Chain A
Amino acid sequence: MATLRDIKRRIRSVRNTRQITRAMEMVSAAKLRRAQTRVEKARPYADKMQVILDNLSAASGTVTHPFFAKREVKKTTLVVVTSDRGFCGSFNHNVIRRAEKFLSDYTPETAELVCVGKKGYDYFKRHDFPVLFSLNDFAGNLDLAKVRRLSNEMTTRFIAEETDEVYLLFSRFESISRHRVSLERFLNIEQEEDADAGGSGVNYIFEPDPVSIYDDLMPRYAMMMVQMALADSFASEHAARMIAMGGATKNAGEMIDNLILVRNKVRQAAITKELLDIVSGAEALKA
Protein backbone atom coordinates (compact mmCIF):
# COMPACT_ATOMS: atom_id res chain seq x y z
CA MET A 1 0.00 0.00 0.00
CA ALA A 2 1.14 3.50 -0.85
CA THR A 3 2.60 5.46 1.99
CA LEU A 4 0.93 8.56 3.33
CA ARG A 5 3.64 10.73 1.89
CA ASP A 6 3.25 9.33 -1.60
CA ILE A 7 -0.46 9.98 -1.53
CA LYS A 8 -0.04 13.51 -0.27
CA ARG A 9 2.45 14.19 -3.01
CA ARG A 10 0.07 12.78 -5.57
CA ILE A 11 -2.76 14.99 -4.37
CA ARG A 12 -0.59 18.04 -4.57
CA SER A 13 0.45 17.22 -8.11
CA VAL A 14 -3.12 16.59 -9.30
CA ARG A 15 -4.18 19.85 -7.67
CA ASN A 16 -1.54 21.71 -9.64
CA THR A 17 -2.69 20.06 -12.84
CA ARG A 18 -6.24 21.02 -12.09
CA GLN A 19 -5.21 24.60 -11.57
CA ILE A 20 -3.53 24.65 -14.95
CA THR A 21 -6.38 23.02 -16.83
CA ARG A 22 -8.83 25.37 -15.16
CA ALA A 23 -6.76 28.37 -16.24
CA MET A 24 -6.56 27.01 -19.78
CA GLU A 25 -10.30 26.53 -19.81
CA MET A 26 -10.88 30.12 -18.83
CA VAL A 27 -8.38 31.47 -21.31
CA SER A 28 -10.03 29.45 -24.08
CA ALA A 29 -13.45 30.70 -23.03
CA ALA A 30 -12.28 34.28 -23.37
CA LYS A 31 -10.62 33.61 -26.71
CA LEU A 32 -13.67 31.75 -27.91
CA ARG A 33 -15.87 34.74 -27.20
CA ARG A 34 -13.60 36.93 -29.27
CA ALA A 35 -13.37 34.44 -32.10
CA GLN A 36 -17.11 33.88 -32.08
CA THR A 37 -17.96 37.56 -32.39
CA ARG A 38 -15.44 37.81 -35.19
CA VAL A 39 -17.17 35.02 -37.10
CA GLU A 40 -20.52 36.67 -36.59
CA LYS A 41 -19.36 40.13 -37.45
CA ALA A 42 -17.63 39.03 -40.64
CA ARG A 43 -20.81 37.47 -41.96
CA PRO A 44 -22.60 40.62 -43.25
CA TYR A 45 -19.53 41.47 -45.28
CA ALA A 46 -19.33 38.00 -46.73
CA ASP A 47 -23.04 37.93 -47.51
CA LYS A 48 -22.94 41.27 -49.25
CA MET A 49 -19.94 40.25 -51.27
CA GLN A 50 -21.82 37.15 -52.37
CA VAL A 51 -24.74 39.35 -53.45
CA ILE A 52 -22.46 41.53 -55.52
CA LEU A 53 -20.80 38.52 -57.10
CA ASP A 54 -24.11 36.85 -57.93
CA ASN A 55 -25.44 40.01 -59.51
CA LEU A 56 -22.25 40.47 -61.40
CA SER A 57 -22.37 36.91 -62.75
CA ALA A 58 -26.00 37.31 -63.70
CA ALA A 59 -25.42 40.57 -65.50
CA SER A 60 -22.09 39.95 -67.14
CA GLY A 61 -23.19 36.86 -69.06
CA THR A 62 -20.24 35.59 -71.03
CA VAL A 63 -17.62 37.65 -69.24
CA THR A 64 -15.54 35.48 -66.96
CA HIS A 65 -12.60 35.72 -64.66
CA PRO A 66 -9.64 33.31 -64.44
CA PHE A 67 -10.82 32.17 -60.97
CA PHE A 68 -13.87 30.60 -62.58
CA ALA A 69 -11.85 28.54 -65.03
CA LYS A 70 -12.89 24.91 -65.01
CA ARG A 71 -10.17 22.63 -66.27
CA GLU A 72 -9.51 18.97 -66.51
CA VAL A 73 -8.15 18.10 -63.08
CA LYS A 74 -4.56 16.94 -63.13
CA LYS A 75 -3.54 18.33 -59.80
CA THR A 76 -5.60 18.96 -56.68
CA THR A 77 -4.57 21.09 -53.74
CA LEU A 78 -5.93 20.48 -50.30
CA VAL A 79 -5.59 23.14 -47.64
CA VAL A 80 -5.85 21.51 -44.22
CA VAL A 81 -6.61 23.82 -41.34
CA THR A 82 -5.60 22.50 -37.92
CA SER A 83 -4.45 24.16 -34.73
CA ASP A 84 -0.92 25.03 -33.72
CA ARG A 85 -1.33 23.65 -30.25
CA GLY A 86 -2.85 20.55 -28.77
CA PHE A 87 -4.98 20.10 -25.67
CA CYS A 88 -8.13 20.43 -27.70
CA GLY A 89 -9.62 16.96 -27.65
CA SER A 90 -10.34 15.36 -31.00
CA PHE A 91 -10.30 18.66 -32.86
CA ASN A 92 -7.17 18.01 -34.93
CA HIS A 93 -7.72 14.31 -35.10
CA ASN A 94 -11.07 14.78 -36.85
CA VAL A 95 -9.64 17.12 -39.45
CA ILE A 96 -6.63 14.92 -40.11
CA ARG A 97 -8.73 11.78 -40.44
CA ARG A 98 -10.92 13.52 -43.00
CA ALA A 99 -7.83 14.71 -44.86
CA GLU A 100 -6.47 11.16 -44.95
CA LYS A 101 -9.73 9.93 -46.38
CA PHE A 102 -9.66 12.64 -49.02
CA LEU A 103 -6.05 11.93 -49.93
CA SER A 104 -6.58 8.19 -50.20
CA ASP A 105 -8.09 8.83 -53.65
CA TYR A 106 -4.97 10.65 -54.78
CA THR A 107 -1.27 10.03 -55.08
CA PRO A 108 1.50 12.53 -54.34
CA GLU A 109 1.57 13.16 -58.10
CA THR A 110 -2.05 14.18 -58.34
CA ALA A 111 -2.46 16.05 -55.11
CA GLU A 112 -0.55 18.47 -53.00
CA LEU A 113 -1.03 19.54 -49.47
CA VAL A 114 -0.95 22.90 -47.78
CA CYS A 115 -1.11 23.00 -44.01
CA VAL A 116 -2.33 25.75 -41.78
CA GLY A 117 -1.36 24.98 -38.20
CA LYS A 118 1.53 22.96 -36.81
CA LYS A 119 -0.48 19.90 -35.86
CA GLY A 120 -1.46 19.05 -39.41
CA TYR A 121 1.99 19.84 -40.70
CA ASP A 122 3.71 17.64 -38.12
CA TYR A 123 1.36 14.79 -38.86
CA PHE A 124 1.78 14.79 -42.63
CA LYS A 125 5.52 15.31 -42.38
CA ARG A 126 5.66 12.06 -40.40
CA HIS A 127 3.31 10.27 -42.76
CA ASP A 128 5.11 10.84 -46.01
CA PHE A 129 2.67 13.04 -47.74
CA PRO A 130 4.53 15.93 -49.32
CA VAL A 131 3.52 19.25 -47.83
CA LEU A 132 3.86 22.06 -50.34
CA PHE A 133 4.13 24.65 -47.60
CA SER A 134 2.63 25.40 -44.26
CA LEU A 135 1.56 28.48 -42.39
CA ASN A 136 1.99 28.19 -38.65
CA ASP A 137 1.97 30.32 -35.55
CA PHE A 138 -1.42 31.85 -35.97
CA ALA A 139 -1.91 30.99 -32.29
CA GLY A 140 -5.63 31.16 -32.87
CA ASN A 141 -5.57 34.75 -34.05
CA LEU A 142 -6.43 35.90 -37.52
CA ASP A 143 -3.40 37.53 -39.04
CA LEU A 144 -4.61 39.26 -42.19
CA ALA A 145 -1.16 39.39 -43.75
CA LYS A 146 -0.96 35.60 -43.51
CA VAL A 147 -4.48 35.17 -44.81
CA ARG A 148 -3.57 37.31 -47.79
CA ARG A 149 -0.40 35.34 -48.37
CA LEU A 150 -2.25 32.04 -48.35
CA SER A 151 -4.99 33.32 -50.61
CA ASN A 152 -2.55 34.91 -53.04
CA GLU A 153 -0.36 31.83 -53.14
CA MET A 154 -3.33 29.62 -54.01
CA THR A 155 -4.78 31.92 -56.63
CA THR A 156 -1.40 32.47 -58.28
CA ARG A 157 -0.77 28.74 -58.48
CA PHE A 158 -4.25 28.23 -59.85
CA ILE A 159 -3.86 30.85 -62.56
CA ALA A 160 -0.41 29.53 -63.47
CA GLU A 161 -2.13 26.13 -63.89
CA GLU A 162 0.15 24.52 -61.32
CA THR A 163 -2.98 23.25 -59.69
CA ASP A 164 -6.44 22.75 -61.16
CA GLU A 165 -8.61 22.78 -58.10
CA VAL A 166 -8.19 23.86 -54.51
CA TYR A 167 -10.18 22.66 -51.51
CA LEU A 168 -10.33 24.02 -48.00
CA LEU A 169 -10.69 21.50 -45.19
CA PHE A 170 -11.53 23.08 -41.86
CA SER A 171 -13.82 22.84 -38.84
CA ARG A 172 -16.95 24.82 -39.27
CA PHE A 173 -18.18 26.43 -36.09
CA GLU A 174 -21.83 25.60 -35.46
CA SER A 175 -22.14 25.99 -31.74
CA ILE A 176 -19.86 25.69 -28.75
CA SER A 177 -20.33 21.94 -28.53
CA ARG A 178 -20.73 21.36 -32.25
CA HIS A 179 -18.20 21.87 -34.96
CA ARG A 180 -18.25 19.88 -38.13
CA VAL A 181 -15.30 19.10 -40.36
CA SER A 182 -16.17 20.70 -43.63
CA LEU A 183 -14.69 20.42 -47.09
CA GLU A 184 -15.25 23.45 -49.24
CA ARG A 185 -14.35 24.11 -52.81
CA PHE A 186 -12.15 27.16 -53.01
CA LEU A 187 -10.98 27.28 -56.63
CA ASN A 188 -12.24 27.24 -59.24
CA ILE A 189 -15.01 29.39 -57.86
CA GLU A 190 -18.31 28.05 -58.98
CA GLN A 191 -20.37 30.50 -60.90
CA GLU A 192 -24.10 30.51 -61.19
CA GLU A 193 -24.63 28.49 -64.35
CA ASP A 194 -28.02 29.89 -65.05
CA ALA A 195 -27.76 33.60 -65.57
CA ASP A 196 -31.32 34.20 -64.42
CA ALA A 197 -31.01 32.20 -61.23
CA GLY A 198 -28.19 34.27 -59.80
CA GLY A 199 -28.70 37.86 -58.86
CA SER A 200 -31.72 39.59 -57.46
CA GLY A 201 -33.20 40.59 -60.81
CA VAL A 202 -32.13 44.17 -60.28
CA ASN A 203 -30.64 45.87 -63.30
CA TYR A 204 -27.40 47.28 -62.01
CA ILE A 205 -25.25 49.96 -63.51
CA PHE A 206 -21.67 48.70 -63.41
CA GLU A 207 -19.06 51.35 -63.18
CA PRO A 208 -16.72 51.22 -65.01
CA ASP A 209 -17.67 47.77 -66.43
CA PRO A 210 -18.15 44.18 -65.20
CA VAL A 211 -14.69 43.02 -66.27
CA SER A 212 -12.80 45.59 -64.21
CA ILE A 213 -15.10 44.98 -61.27
CA TYR A 214 -14.28 41.28 -61.45
CA ASP A 215 -10.60 42.13 -61.33
CA ASP A 216 -11.16 44.14 -58.18
CA LEU A 217 -13.65 41.81 -56.59
CA MET A 218 -12.25 38.33 -57.11
CA PRO A 219 -9.01 38.66 -55.10
CA ARG A 220 -11.03 40.08 -52.21
CA TYR A 221 -13.60 37.34 -52.57
CA ALA A 222 -10.90 34.69 -52.45
CA MET A 223 -9.33 36.27 -49.42
CA MET A 224 -12.69 36.53 -47.73
CA MET A 225 -13.30 32.80 -48.25
CA VAL A 226 -9.97 31.90 -46.68
CA GLN A 227 -10.57 34.31 -43.85
CA MET A 228 -14.01 32.89 -43.10
CA ALA A 229 -12.65 29.35 -43.10
CA LEU A 230 -9.86 30.27 -40.71
CA ALA A 231 -12.15 32.28 -38.46
CA ASP A 232 -14.49 29.29 -38.21
CA SER A 233 -11.63 26.95 -37.50
CA PHE A 234 -10.20 29.19 -34.79
CA ALA A 235 -13.54 29.54 -33.07
CA SER A 236 -13.97 25.75 -33.19
CA GLU A 237 -10.45 25.26 -31.85
CA HIS A 238 -11.08 27.44 -28.83
CA ALA A 239 -14.44 25.79 -28.21
CA ALA A 240 -12.87 22.33 -28.44
CA ARG A 241 -10.07 23.32 -26.09
CA MET A 242 -12.45 24.87 -23.62
CA ILE A 243 -14.51 21.70 -23.50
CA ALA A 244 -11.48 19.42 -23.31
CA MET A 245 -10.00 21.46 -20.49
CA GLY A 246 -13.34 21.64 -18.70
CA GLY A 247 -13.46 17.83 -18.81
CA ALA A 248 -9.89 17.59 -17.57
CA THR A 249 -10.62 19.93 -14.68
CA LYS A 250 -13.61 17.83 -13.70
CA ASN A 251 -11.62 14.60 -13.90
CA ALA A 252 -8.85 16.08 -11.82
CA GLY A 253 -11.42 17.08 -9.20
CA GLU A 254 -12.77 13.52 -9.04
CA MET A 255 -9.29 12.12 -8.78
CA ILE A 256 -8.50 14.45 -5.89
CA ASP A 257 -11.65 13.38 -4.07
CA ASN A 258 -10.73 9.72 -4.45
CA LEU A 259 -7.17 10.33 -3.35
CA ILE A 260 -8.36 12.21 -0.28
CA LEU A 261 -10.48 9.20 0.69
CA VAL A 262 -7.49 6.91 0.30
CA ARG A 263 -5.30 9.34 2.23
CA ASN A 264 -7.73 9.43 5.13
CA LYS A 265 -7.95 5.65 5.22
CA VAL A 266 -4.19 5.28 5.21
CA ARG A 267 -3.80 7.88 7.92
CA GLN A 268 -6.46 6.19 10.04
CA ALA A 269 -4.75 2.85 9.55
CA ALA A 270 -1.46 4.37 10.70
CA ILE A 271 -3.06 5.85 13.80
CA THR A 272 -4.76 2.57 14.65
CA LYS A 273 -1.50 0.75 14.24
CA GLU A 274 0.29 3.17 16.52
CA LEU A 275 -2.41 2.90 19.16
CA LEU A 276 -2.18 -0.86 19.01
CA ASP A 277 1.56 -0.63 19.51
CA ILE A 278 1.18 1.62 22.52
CA VAL A 279 -1.58 -0.45 24.09
CA SER A 280 0.21 -3.72 23.57
CA GLY A 281 3.44 -2.14 24.88
CA ALA A 282 1.62 -1.02 28.05
CA GLU A 283 0.05 -4.45 28.42
CA ALA A 284 3.46 -6.05 28.16
CA LEU A 285 4.89 -3.75 30.87
CA LYS A 286 1.98 -4.52 33.21
CA ALA A 287 2.59 -8.19 32.79
Chain B
Amino acid sequence: MASFILSIVTPEHILFEEEVESIVVPGALGYLGVLANHAPLITPIEPGRLTIQKSASTEINLAISGGFLEVSNNKATVLADAVEYADEIDIERAKASLKRAKQRIVEREEGLDFERAVAGIKRAENRLKIFETVAVEHR
Protein backbone atom coordinates (compact mmCIF):
# COMPACT_ATOMS: atom_id res chain seq x y z
CA MET B 1 0.00 0.00 0.00
CA ALA B 2 1.15 3.53 -0.68
CA SER B 3 2.68 5.22 2.30
CA PHE B 4 3.46 8.73 3.50
CA ILE B 5 5.58 10.33 6.18
CA LEU B 6 3.96 11.14 9.49
CA SER B 7 5.68 13.25 12.11
CA ILE B 8 4.25 13.98 15.51
CA VAL B 9 5.88 16.95 17.20
CA THR B 10 5.21 18.42 20.63
CA PRO B 11 6.75 21.49 22.26
CA GLU B 12 9.12 19.10 24.05
CA HIS B 13 10.28 16.76 21.33
CA ILE B 14 9.63 14.90 18.11
CA LEU B 15 7.73 11.82 19.20
CA PHE B 16 7.33 10.03 15.92
CA GLU B 17 8.70 10.37 12.41
CA GLU B 18 8.17 7.36 10.15
CA GLU B 19 6.44 6.09 7.05
CA VAL B 20 2.88 5.02 7.66
CA GLU B 21 -0.02 3.79 5.55
CA SER B 22 -2.86 5.64 7.17
CA ILE B 23 -3.83 7.62 10.24
CA VAL B 24 -7.12 8.39 11.94
CA VAL B 25 -7.17 11.70 13.75
CA PRO B 26 -9.76 13.31 16.05
CA GLY B 27 -10.30 16.47 14.01
CA ALA B 28 -12.40 19.48 14.98
CA LEU B 29 -15.33 18.13 12.98
CA GLY B 30 -14.94 14.51 14.05
CA TYR B 31 -12.54 11.70 13.34
CA LEU B 32 -10.96 11.79 9.92
CA GLY B 33 -8.72 9.39 8.09
CA VAL B 34 -5.66 10.35 6.07
CA LEU B 35 -4.18 8.11 3.41
CA ALA B 36 -1.23 8.67 1.12
CA ASN B 37 -1.58 11.57 -1.35
CA HIS B 38 -4.22 13.31 0.71
CA ALA B 39 -5.17 16.83 -0.39
CA PRO B 40 -3.43 19.62 1.59
CA LEU B 41 -5.34 20.14 4.82
CA ILE B 42 -5.12 22.07 8.06
CA THR B 43 -7.41 21.28 10.95
CA PRO B 44 -7.39 21.58 14.74
CA ILE B 45 -7.30 18.35 16.73
CA GLU B 46 -9.59 17.60 19.65
CA PRO B 47 -8.65 15.40 22.60
CA GLY B 48 -9.05 11.83 21.43
CA ARG B 49 -7.47 8.75 20.01
CA LEU B 50 -4.88 8.92 17.26
CA THR B 51 -4.54 5.66 15.36
CA ILE B 52 -1.59 4.98 13.09
CA GLN B 53 -1.64 2.11 10.63
CA LYS B 54 2.02 1.45 10.08
CA SER B 55 1.46 -1.63 7.98
CA ALA B 56 -1.40 -4.07 7.49
CA SER B 57 -0.45 -5.83 10.71
CA THR B 58 0.85 -3.07 12.97
CA GLU B 59 -1.38 -0.48 14.49
CA ILE B 60 -0.22 2.13 16.95
CA ASN B 61 -2.59 3.94 19.29
CA LEU B 62 -1.93 7.23 21.00
CA ALA B 63 -3.82 9.57 23.25
CA ILE B 64 -3.68 13.17 22.08
CA SER B 65 -4.79 16.19 24.12
CA GLY B 66 -5.31 18.60 21.25
CA GLY B 67 -3.28 20.36 18.60
CA PHE B 68 -3.18 20.66 14.83
CA LEU B 69 -2.90 18.48 11.79
CA GLU B 70 -1.24 19.71 8.65
CA VAL B 71 -1.06 17.62 5.47
CA SER B 72 0.83 18.65 2.35
CA ASN B 73 3.13 17.04 -0.22
CA ASN B 74 2.37 13.55 1.01
CA LYS B 75 3.59 14.47 4.47
CA ALA B 76 1.44 14.75 7.57
CA THR B 77 2.47 16.69 10.64
CA VAL B 78 0.66 16.50 13.94
CA LEU B 79 1.39 19.41 16.26
CA ALA B 80 0.35 18.03 19.60
CA ASP B 81 -0.11 19.84 22.91
CA ALA B 82 0.58 16.53 24.61
CA VAL B 83 0.56 13.02 23.26
CA GLU B 84 1.35 9.56 24.65
CA TYR B 85 1.43 6.01 23.35
CA ALA B 86 -1.65 4.21 24.62
CA ASP B 87 0.39 1.71 26.61
CA GLU B 88 2.52 4.43 28.18
CA ILE B 89 -0.33 6.45 29.62
CA ASP B 90 0.21 7.27 33.26
CA ILE B 91 -3.11 6.08 34.64
CA GLU B 92 -2.47 7.25 38.19
CA ARG B 93 -1.64 10.74 36.99
CA ALA B 94 -4.67 10.91 34.74
CA LYS B 95 -6.91 9.78 37.60
CA ALA B 96 -5.38 12.33 39.92
CA SER B 97 -5.81 15.20 37.50
CA LEU B 98 -9.38 14.15 36.79
CA LYS B 99 -10.12 14.24 40.49
CA ARG B 100 -8.38 17.59 40.86
CA ALA B 101 -10.26 19.19 37.98
CA LYS B 102 -13.62 17.90 39.22
CA GLN B 103 -12.89 19.11 42.71
CA ARG B 104 -12.06 22.55 41.38
CA ILE B 105 -15.44 22.80 39.71
CA VAL B 106 -17.35 21.44 42.69
CA GLU B 107 -15.62 23.79 45.13
CA ARG B 108 -15.91 26.81 42.81
CA GLU B 109 -12.40 27.84 43.64
CA GLU B 110 -11.56 31.53 43.68
CA GLY B 111 -10.73 32.79 40.17
CA LEU B 112 -11.67 29.48 38.59
CA ASP B 113 -11.04 29.21 34.88
CA PHE B 114 -14.05 27.10 34.08
CA GLU B 115 -13.11 26.36 30.50
CA ARG B 116 -9.68 25.16 31.52
CA ALA B 117 -11.06 22.92 34.24
CA VAL B 118 -13.49 21.36 31.77
CA ALA B 119 -10.71 20.93 29.25
CA GLY B 120 -8.67 19.23 31.96
CA ILE B 121 -11.49 16.80 32.65
CA LYS B 122 -11.77 16.06 28.95
CA ARG B 123 -8.07 15.38 28.65
CA ALA B 124 -7.94 13.11 31.66
CA GLU B 125 -11.05 11.18 30.65
CA ASN B 126 -9.66 10.81 27.16
CA ARG B 127 -6.46 9.27 28.51
CA LEU B 128 -8.32 6.85 30.76
CA LYS B 129 -10.71 5.84 28.01
CA ILE B 130 -8.00 5.19 25.47
CA PHE B 131 -5.92 3.22 27.91
CA GLU B 132 -8.90 0.99 28.66
CA THR B 133 -10.20 0.49 25.12
CA VAL B 134 -6.77 -0.26 23.75
CA ALA B 135 -6.10 -2.72 26.56
CA VAL B 136 -9.40 -4.46 25.82
CA GLU B 137 -8.68 -4.63 22.09
CA HIS B 138 -5.31 -6.20 22.71
CA ARG B 139 -6.68 -8.97 24.86
A: residues with CB less than 8 A from B are 38, 41-42, 44-45, 48-49, 51-52, 55-56, 200, 202-208, 212-213, 216-217, 220, 224, 227
- In the bound assembly, the distance between CA atoms of A207 and B68 in angstroms comes to 11
> Total interface residues on B, using CB and 8 Å?
25
B70 and A51 contact, CB distance less than 8 A: yes
Task: Choose the segment among B7-15, B52-60, B85-93 that binds chain A (4+ C-beta atoms closer than 8 Å).
Answer: B7-15
Q: Is the CB of A206 within 8 A of B42?
A: yes
Would you call B39 an interface residue if the criterion is a C-beta within 8 Å of the partner chain's C-beta atoms? yes
Say yes or no: A48 contacts B11, CB within 8 Å.
no
Residue in A closest to B13 when the chains form the complex, CB atoms? A41
The CA-CA distance from A89 to B72 in the complex, in Å, is 47
Establish whether residues A212 and B28, one from each chain, have CB atoms under 8 Å apart when the complex forms.
yes
CA distance A42 to B10 in the complex (A): 7
Cβ-defined contact, A56 with B42, below 8 A: yes
Of chain A, the residue at the smallest CB distance from B41 is A205
B41 touches A200 (CB 8 A): no
Please provide the 3 A-B residue pairs with the shortest distance between their CB atoms, ordered closest to farther: A207-B43, A216-B44, A41-B13
Q: In the assembly, what is the distance between CA of A44 and CA of B15, in Å?
A: 11
Q: How far is A87 from B28 in the complex, measured between Cα atoms in Å?
A: 49
Choose from A44, A48, A49, A207 the contact partner of B41 (Cβ within 8 Å).
A207
The verdict on B27 contacting chain A, using a C-beta distance below 8 Å, is yes
Residues of A within 8 A of B40 (CB): 202-205
Contact B14 A52 (CB under 8 A): no
Quick one: which of B29, B32, B70, B81 contacts A52, CB cutoff 8 A? Answer: B70
Report the bound CA distance from A208 to B41 in whole Å: 10
B77 contacts partner chain A, Cβ-Cβ < 8 Å? yes
Residues of B within 8 A of A56 (CB): 42
**B72 close to A45 (CB less than 8 A):** no
In the bound complex, CA of A52 to CA of B70 (Å): 7
Q: A206 CA to B71 CA in the complex, in Å?
A: 11
Shortest C-beta distance, B114 to chain A (Å), equals 14
A48:B13 contact, CB within 8 angstroms: no
Chain B residues within an 8 Å CB radius of A224: 11
By the criterion CB–CB under 8 Å, are B10 and A45 in contact? yes
CB proximity of A133 to chain B, nearest CB, Å: 14
CB of B12 within 8 A of CB of A42, answer yes
By beta carbon, the residue of chain B nearest A206 is B42
Q: Are B41 and A204 in contact (CB under 8 A)?
A: yes
Q: How far is the CA of A52 from the CA of B9 in the complex (A)?
A: 14
Instruction: Please indicate which of the listed interface residues A55, A203, A205, A212 has the most CB atoms of chain B within 10 Å of its own CB.
Output: A205
